[in-house]
Structure formats: structure tokens, C-alpha cells
Amino acid sequence: MTDQEGQTEKTQEQEQGAPIEQIRQLKMRIEDLEKELAQEREKATDYMSRAMRAQADISNVRKRLSQDLALAMRDALKSIVYEQLAVLDSFDRAFSLLPEEFRHFTWVEGVGLIQTQLFSILHRAGITPIEVIKGKQYNPIEHEVVAYEETSNYPEETVTAELQRGYKLQDQVLRPALVKIARTPQAAATGATGTTDNTTETTTTTE
């Protein structure tokens, strides 16, 4: 083999090996790019997780602030409204003691309109009266017992009278209703008198 032929063969081998080397380098470059892409994806996922956690934290803080604000406003409203209940009590007592012949007077009707207006304002603020029904079992959450009535006309532990109206503020008891409840008449008292006394009232004081 001449030198020229050997040089030609060597050149052909180099030309044949060049594409293989290019492919190998290209493959290595692709692998490097895939690794870099995976790293960037991990970084993006981490950033997204952090952003979502931060957003959740902000949302929780907003909820807590909103709840705290609502509670603070509710407490402030309770203190203001509670004072107005005394005014409603005064209206109730005044009209309960008003003689029937005075109820048609214009000034009495005007006072009644003021009472209605005050109650409407409190009702819009969430104030509702506590229901008290004679003969129904008293509710220790909504009712406060301040008197007992020995009677056979009502079952024991049931309400016989409402002495002062109670109120709720948005389903929370603001002031319980003051009530009188029934007690079974004492047999000893009946035997001593020789007659049946259906109604005897006993009062109790509250502090």
C-alpha cells in the first residue's frame, strides 16, 4: 500500500468516525439539558409550593382577623344594646300599668310608636325576644327562675308567668327571661287547712 492510499484510508476512517462523535456529544448535551430542565422543574415546583403556602397563610390570617373583628363588633354591640333593653323594660311596665281608658289618647299612641321604633332598630341589629309559653318546660339557658308557684294548674317545672322579657342577640342569649315556674302543692299544707289551695306563690332572690 502506498503512502497516498494509506492517507486516503485514514481520512475515510476519520470522516466515518466524525458523525459518531457528533452524535455522542449531542447525546451528552441532551442529557445535560434534561438534567438542567429537571432541576428547574424542581425549583419551579418548590417556588409554587412556597407561593401556595404563603397564600394559604395570608388567607388564614385574613380569616382570623375577620373573626376577631366580628367578635369585637359583637361585644361592642352587646354592651350598647344591653343598655337599651332597660328602655324597653320601662315601656313594657308603663303600658302594663296604663289604665284602659287612657290607651286611646293620642299621646299614648305616640309613645307606643316610639316603643315600636326602638324595637325595630334593635331587631335590625339582631335582637329578638325569647319565647316564653305558659305550661311549657322552662329552659335553663334562656330562662332564669326567680319565683315558684305551688299550683296544680300546671305541671311541675313548667313556666307559669313571665316577669321580665328576655332577649337574644343573633341566637346568643343576651339576657335570660325572668320566669316563675310551677311546683306541686305540699300535701301537708292542704291537710292543715282542710281545703285545697290550688295556688301559692314563693319567690326567690337572685344576685
Question: How many other CB atoms are found less than 10 A from the CB of residue 181?
Answer: 21
* Residue where a domain stops, chosen among 97, 112, 147: 97
pLDDT tens per residue, range 147-180:
999 988 899 989 999 999 999 988 889 899 999 9
Sign for the CA dihedral angle at 9, 11, 15, 18 comes to positive
- What's the number of domains the chain is made of? 2
Same domain, 13 and 87: yes
Same domain, 35 and 81: yes
* Domain that residue 57 falls in: 1-97
CATH code for the domain of 146: 2.30.22.10
Query: For residue 109, is it within any domain?
Result: no
**pTM attached to this predicted model:** 0.57
Question: Where would I find the H helices in 100-200?
Answer: 106-124, 187-193
Q: Which residues pair with 202 in a beta bridge?
A: 148
pLDDT tens per residue, range 37-59:
888 888 888 888 888 888 888 88
pLDDT at position 109 over 60: yes
Q: What is the mean pLDDT of the chain?
A: 80
**From the CA atom positions of the chain, what is the Rg in Å?**
44
Q: Are 163 and 146 in contact (CB under 8 A)?
A: yes
Q: Which residues pair with 159 in a beta bridge?
A: 181
